[in-house]
Amino acid sequence: MTANVLVLYNPPADPAAFNSHYFGTHVPLAKKIPGLRSISVSEGPVNAMTPGASYHLIAELVFDSMADLQAGMASPEGQATGADLPNFAAAGATILVYESQER
């Protein structure tokens, strides 16, 4: 079983500025979070099956356990990553936290 953070970023007013900050600053911050096993980011358009739903980008962070996720997000690196959100995600984001396992 793993613990995951799924972030759904709303479409920004300036996609180029969003991408520049996201890939140049935010992802490098997130990669420093203790206990982070992996991070994956969507490529290309994000298509929602729900009418009216629209996202610019989706990211998934994976940890070995919920305890690792909680400790990582509470760490200075996790706090810095969270504090960076207003610097580029002015359009908002939905953040989901869950446990999963392959079946």
Q: Whole-prediction pTM value? A: 0.93
Reading the chain (103 residues) residue by residue, the pLDDT tens digits are 999 999 999 999 999 999 999 999 999 999 999 999 999 999 877 888 888 888 999 999 999 999 999 999 999 999 999 999 999 999 999 999 999 998 9
CA dist., res. 16 & res. 57, Å (int): 12
Q: Mind listing the domains of the chain with CATH numbers?
A: 2-100 (3.30.70.100)
Buried b / exposed e along 32-70 (16+ C-beta atoms within 10 A): ebebbeeeeeeeeeeeeeeeeeebbbbbebbbeeeebbe
